[in-house]
Amino acid sequence: MQKNILLPTDFSDNALNAIHYALELFKNEKCRFYILNTIEMQVPVLSNLTGRLLETIKEDSNKNLKELQEKLESTSINSKFHFQTIWSSKNLLSAITKSVIDYNIDLLVMGTKGATGAKEFLFGSNTNTIIKKMNFCPILVIPENFDFVIPNQIAFPTDFKRFFSNIELKPIKDLASLYNSIIRVVHINVEDDLDDIQENNLSALKQYLKKFEHTFHWVPDFTNKTKSICTFIDELEVNMLVMVNYKHSFVENIIKEPIIKKVGFHPIVPFMIIPDLN
* Residue 48 belongs to some domain of the structure: yes
Do 259 and 165 sit in the same domain of this protein? Answer: yes
Question: Is residue 181 in some structural domain?
Answer: yes
- Residues 234 and 165 occupy one common structural domain: yes
Over its C-alpha atoms, the chain yields an Rg (Å, rounded) of 19
Both 67 and 158 in a single domain?
no
Q: Is 64 contained in some domain?
A: yes
For residue 96, give the nearest of 42, 57, 139, 160 by alpha carbon. Answer: 139
Contact 209, 203 (CB under 8 A): no
Give bridge partners of residue 35 from the DSSP assignment.
7, 85
CA–CA gap between residue 87 and residue 65 (Å, rounded): 8
Q: Is residue 87 part of a domain?
A: yes
In a domain, residue 122? The reply is no
CATH of the domain at 201: 3.40.50.620
Tell me, yes or no, whether 139 lies in a domain: no
Domain count, the chain: 2
The residue segments making up the domain with residue 216 are 153-243+254-265
For each of the chain's 278 residues, which pLDDT tens digit applies?
Answer: 899 999 999 898 989 999 999 999 999 999 999 999 997 766 655 555 667 777 888 899 999 999 999 999 999 889 999 999 999 988 889 999 999 999 999 999 998 764 443 333 334 567 777 888 888 899 999 988 899 999 999 999 998 988 999 999 999 999 999 999 999 999 887 777 899 999 999 999 999 999 999 999 998 766 667 777 888 888 889 999 998 888 766 666 655 554 334 434 456 899 999 988 77
112-60-128 Cα angle (round to 5)? 20
| Residue 118 near residue 260 (C-beta atoms within 8 A) | yes
